[in-house]
Structure 1
Amino acid sequence: MMGFITHCWKNVGFEFWIRTGCLVGACFLALSQAWGQSATLELVNLRANRQDNVLVLNAQLKLELGPVVEDALVKGLAVHFMAEAELMRDRWYWFDRKVGVVTRYYRLAFQPLTRRWRLNVSSEPFSVTSLAGSISQNFESLNEALGVIQRQSHWKVADASELNPEARQYVLYRFKLDVSQLPRPFQIAAGNQADWNLQVASQLRLSAEMVR
C-alpha cells in the first residue's frame, strides 16, 4: 500500500513540475516579448508647398517609444525631441549653401498627481527659454501626446524672398530624441541603449513651382 501511494505521489509530483515549468516558461516568454518591443521612428511623409508667399513643410512620423524611455517618463524624467529643417542651395564649386534653418523643440513629461501628460513646444531650446515661453498642452494618454509630435503641419521654413528661382534648392529635415537634454548620468547610460537612439533624416528637393 505504501509503495502504491509513493508511486502515485511520484507521478503527481512529476506532472506538477512539468506543468509549473511550462507555465513559468510561458510567462517569461510573454514578458520578454513585451519588454523586447523596440522603439520605432520612421518618416512616413515629407512634403513642402507654397502658401501666401511662404514655404511650409509638412512631416508625418511614426513614433513609438521603447519600454526604457516610457519607464523613465513615468518615473518623472522629462524627455526632449527636436525637429530641424534646413533650406539648402546647390553650389557646384563648393559645399551647398545653408540659406536658413528652423527648429522645433518638444518637452514631454508625465505628471504623477494628475496622471496626465504635458507637452511643451518651443522654437527656442528649453535651456535658453523657460517653459512659460512655450506652447503647453495636457493629454490624457501618452499616445495622444506623441500624436502631436508625429504631425508637424504648416511649418514655416522660409519666406518667398529667401528662395532663388534660378537655383536648385532642397530642404534637409532631421528629427531626433535629444539625449543631450537629459541629466548627465542619464546621458551616459542612454548611450548604450537602443531605445534612446531615435533619429531620422531626409532630403526633399524643391520643385520649380515652389521657388518661383
Structure 2
Amino acid sequence: MPCCKKLFKVLLLLTLPVWLYATAARADGIEVNKAEIHASEDGYQLSADFNVNLNNVVQQALSLGVPLYFIGEFTLTRSRWYWLDEQVYQNEHSVKLSYNVLTRQYRISRGSLFQNFASLEDLMRILARQNSGYIPIDAMKKDGNYIASVRLRLDTKQLPKLMQVNVLTSRDWDFDSGWYRWLIRSQDAALRGKTE
C-alpha cells in the first residue's frame, strides 16, 4: 500500500505542471501578441495583433443573439522634458460581433461594413487584428521619440440593460487588454513592440 501512495504522489507531481500550463495557455481574456508601426508614403499606421479568448458565459450570450461591442484604442504621444506630453494622434473605433440564429452565421461589423463567418474561430481571428488608420506623415518630427499605446476592450455599456446588472457583479465580462505601450524613434518608425 505505501508503494501505491508514492506512485500516486509521483504521478500527481508529474501531471500538475502540465495541467497548470494547459490552464494558463487557455486563459480567458485579451492579451497583446505584438504591436508595430508601419511607415509609407502617406503616413504611419499603428497595428496590433491580440489574443482574444472568450469564456463560456460570453460565448453563450453571443450564440443567443446578444451583440458584443469591442473598442480598439490607439494613441501616439511625444514626450517633452519641459512640459506635459503632447498627444499627436488618437483614434478609437468600435467593432460589433453578432450571431444570426436563423442563418447560423457570425458577423463582424465596422461602421457600415460587415463580413459573415461560419465559425467563431474565424470571427475571432479578424477581431484579433486591429489597426489605427493613417497618421499624417508630418505628425511625427524627425528628431523625436514617441510613445505608441494600444488597447482592446469589451464595451459592456452597450450590452442590453438587464445584462449590465450582471456585469457589475461578475468577472465573466471583464475583457480588457490594458494599455500596451512601446517606444518609437522617428528615425526608425518601423520599430516593433513585442510582448515579453
The offset of 1:38, in angstroms, is 5.3
| Structure 1 residues 56-112: Cα deviation after superposition (integer angstroms, max 9, x where no partner) | 122111111011101111111100001110111112233312112112211001100
User: What is the correspondence of 1:175-194 to structure 2 with a 5 Å cutoff?
Assistant: 175-194=152-171
Match of 2:62 in 1: 73
CA distance in 1, matches of 2:41, 2:96: 30
Compared CA separation, residues 94 and 61, structure 1 to 2 (3 A): same
CA distance in 1, matches of 2:28, 2:170: 11
Letter in 2 for 1:152: Q
Is the 8 Å Cα contact of residues 30 and 152 (structure 2) preserved in structure 1? no
The offset of 1:151, in angstroms, is 1.6
- Cα RMSD, aligned residues only: 2.0
Query: Is 1:197 the equivalent of 2:174?
Result: yes
The offset of 1:177, in angstroms, is 0.8
Match of 1:113 in 2: 102
Q: What's the secondary structure of 1:145's corresponding residue?
A: helix
Query: Is 1:210 the equivalent of 2:189?
Result: yes
Letter in 2 for 1:71: Q
Aligned length in residues: 164
Match of 1:149 in 2: 127
Structure label with greater radius of gyration = 1
Superposition TM-score, scaled by structure 2 size = 0.77
Is the 8 Å Cα contact of residues 86 and 173 (structure 1) preserved in structure 2? yes
CA distance in 1, matches of 2:64, 2:88: 41
Instruction: Considering fraction of residues, name the structure with more helix.
Output: 1
Query: Is 1:140 the equivalent of 2:118?
Result: yes
CA distance in 1, matches of 2:36, 2:159: 31
Superposition TM-score, scaled by structure 1 size = 0.71
Match of 2:143 in 1: 166
Gaps of 5+ in 1: 1-36, 123-133
Question: Which of the pair has the greater relative contact order for Cα pairs under 8 Å at 6+ separation?
Answer: 2
Q: What's the secondary structure of 1:210's corresponding residue?
A: coil
Compared CA separation, residues 189 and 196, structure 1 to 2 (3 A): same
Query: Is 1:54 the equivalent of 2:32?
Result: no
The offset of 1:209, in angstroms, is 2.6
Match of 1:5 in 2: none
Q: What's the secondary structure of 1:190's corresponding residue?
A: helix
CA distance in 2, matches of 1:49, 1:172: 14
Letter in 2 for 1:80: Y
Match of 1:130 in 2: none
Is the 8 Å Cα contact of residues 77 and 87 (structure 2) preserved in structure 1? yes
